Amino acid sequence: MKTTNWNRFFVICVVASVVAAAAGIQLIRIQNIEGAKQILEDSEAYQGINRMIYPERGSIYDSEGRLLAGNEVVYEVGLDLRAIQQPETVAAAASSVLGLDYATVLGYSQMTPGNGNPYFVVLDGFASKDKIDQLEVIKDDYASRSVKRGEVRPNLEGLVWTANNKRSYPEGTLASNILGFYSFRDRTDGIGYFGIEEAYDDLMAGEPKLIYSAIDPNLLTSVEEVPPGVTVQLTFNREIQAMTERKLDEALKWSGADNGTIVVYDPETGEIVAMATAPRLDPNEYWNYSEIFPNPKPYNSAISSTYEPGSVFKVITMAAALDAGVVTADTTFNDTGSITVGGATIYNWNMGGWGEVDMTGCMQHSLNVCLAWLGTELGPDRFYSYLKSFGFDRNTGIDLGGENHWPLKLPGDGLWYEVDLATNSFGQGISVTPIQMVTAIGAVANEGKMMAPHVVKAMVIDGKQYNVDPVVVGTPISAETARTLTQMLVDSLENEASSALVEGYSLAGKTGTGEIATPLGYTNSATNTSFVGWGPAEDPKFLVYIWLEKPEISIWGSEVAAPVFSDLVEDLVVLMNIPPDNVRLSLRYDGRNIAGLE
Residue type, 85: Q
pLDDT at 196: 98
pLDDT at 5: 60
**CA triplet 81, 86, 88: central angle to 5 degrees?**
100
Residue 76 has pLDDT above 60, yes or no: yes
Name the pLDDT band for 53 (thresholds 50, 70, 90).
confident
pLDDT at 450: 98
Q: Give yes or no on whether 55-207 and 238-289+304-589 have one common fold.
A: no
pTM score: 0.82
Coil vs helix vs strand at 404? coil
306 Cβ contact list (under 8 Å, min separation 6): 404, 405, 406, 431, 432, 433
Residue 479 has pLDDT above 70, yes or no: yes
> Other CB atoms closer than 10 Å to residue 227's CB: what's the count?
13
Tell me: the pLDDT tens digits for 487-527?
A: 999 999 999 888 999 999 999 999 999 999 888 788 778 99
Q: Which CATH number fits domain 238-289+304-589: 3.40.710.10, 3.30.470.20, 3.90.1420.10, 3.60.20.10?
A: 3.40.710.10
pLDDT at 61: 98
- 60-61 and 231-234 as β-strands: parallel, antiparallel, unpaired? parallel
> Other CB atoms closer than 10 Å to residue 175's CB: what's the count?
29
Coil vs helix vs strand at 529? strand
The single-letter DSSP state of residue 132 is H
Residue type, 96: S
Q: Rounded to an integer, what distance in angstroms lies between the CA atom of residue 576 and that of residue 596? A: 9
Class for domain 55-207, per CATH?
A: alpha beta
pLDDT at 56: 86
Residue 183 has pLDDT above 90, yes or no: no
Least confident of 76-80, 195-199, 397-401: 76-80
- State residue 474 phi and psi, 5-degree precision: 170, 160
What kind and span of H or E run contains 45? helix 34-47
> Other CB atoms closer than 10 Å to residue 199's CB: what's the count?
21
The single-letter DSSP state of residue 539 is S
Tell me: the pLDDT tens digits for 560-597?
A: 999 999 999 999 999 999 999 999 877 765 544 443 33
Average pLDDT over residues 197-226: 73
Domain ranges of the chain: 55-207, 238-289+304-589
Q: Rounded to an integer, what distance in angstroms lies between the CA atom of residue 136 and that of residue 370? A: 78
Q: Rounded to an integer, what distance in angstroms lies between the CA atom of residue 584 and that of residue 417? A: 50
Name the pLDDT band for 200 (thresholds 50, 70, 90).
very high
The single-letter DSSP state of residue 428 is S
